[in-house]
Amino acid sequence: MLFNSIEFAIFLPIVFMLYWFGTNKNLKLQNALLLFSSYYFYACWDWRFMFLLMFSTLLDYYTGLKMQDAINHQGKRFWFWLSVIVNLGFLAVFKYYNFFAGSFAEMVAQFGWEVSPLMIHVILPVGISFYTFHGLSYVIDIYNDKIKAERNFVDYAVFVSFFPLLVAGPIERATHLLPQIKRARTFDYKKAVDGMRQILWGLFKKIVIADNCAEFANQIFNNSADLNGATLVLGALFFTFQIYGDFSGYSDIALGTARLFGIDLLRNFAFPYFSRDIAEFWRRWHISLSSWFKDYLYIPLGGSKGGNWMRIRNTFIIFIVSGFWHGANWTFIAWGFLNALFIMPSIIMKTNRNNLEIVAQGRLLPSLTEFLQITVTFSLAVFAWIFFRAESMSHALQFIQDMFAGLFSKAGYIEAFNFMYWKVGAYLPLLLLAFLIIEWLGREEQFALAKIGLNWKRPLRFALYYSIIIAIFWFAGKEQQFIYFQF
């Protein structure tokens, strides 16, 4: 069930009405309804993987209680490692087994040995990386005495499987979400309206921006060998906007939907393409994952306390692991490694905390220096996304080689112009321009549409909202699955 589907448009109002008007504001009934709705939402993808989700939930719930009740540290450590090993074991089997087996066969083939490893043919369970990380953060926090184990199974299960975040995040923490689940909730009209605005903007990003960019990004990447440098640059740019509109659009819909139920989820995006350096970019892109790796990997490895060598080593580790988290392909590892290289100058020079506030705060336009910094950072992100989108390392490297080889070719610019004129047309550049203007004007808020138009007269404000709704229906193309569902 996609957020941008008719099924979800029917599902959400039904759950909303039952939640606020069918439970008599009884917290236990509300949470039971959320759990049932979340399991139904997940089962719509593939009911067979419900058992994996439920087993993972039961495992972490039970091991959490056993850690809490352990009479000594040895017993606590046993239950902790049982949970970690089983959770990561499932992730390894479903997501990484074929990758490791195939890579091993390729490696030994270099020495003249032929190996035919057993490959497993199974669909990757949607959202497995996200709900696994929910559970891991929970058991790690119990092990480190940061939280107490949750004894109400329904409350804990809602924390793991709350349907807005279940399949693509944000990656929540028990310290943030569980107290909200256990606290009585009353309907807040302002919060609900704010949630609807965020859902509307998320749908615009996904359907109008991401899905339309995807059509042309796919055409270029799938036929890159036949295209010239300037056209390949267009492909990289289209994918850059596609992945941002796709993933941040999902996050906006998830956060807005949660607000309808009186719950605030962790913010996942903060206008990353307006960043002035790569360190700032990674504070603003997929925030819940970046902070997860910082708290549960970077800091336990020693963080930045051991001098430059430790900071460099730990930074490369978290970026490479982050790339590998995204998928079982060398392209993702290369993408992570490349971002680690990009961030190195600021790590070594200790300038990675320089740009903590949003750019041009309180001003309409950035300074020339800020504009140049944004342009350079954006260009580095575009380059790195080539590896993320490419089918293989050879595809990525050939794409980059062809891109630079034909970048200054007159024929290449003519080809790119013809592609834009005959295939893309004027509508998509104009939509992207309008999108960037709204994002820029709303960059100081939690999401772009949070405050824009609130002080306008009612007819103008609703004209803006209806224009966005019309654009969603008018420019809706082929329904595209969210990119991060594969992770």
Residues identified as active-site: 326
* Helices 368-389, 393-405: inter-axial angle, 10-degree rounding: 130
Q: Provide the 10 A C-beta neighbour count for residue 34.
A: 24
Q: Quick one: tokens of 238?
A: 């289209």
Least Cα distance to 172 among 124, 136, 144 occurs for 136
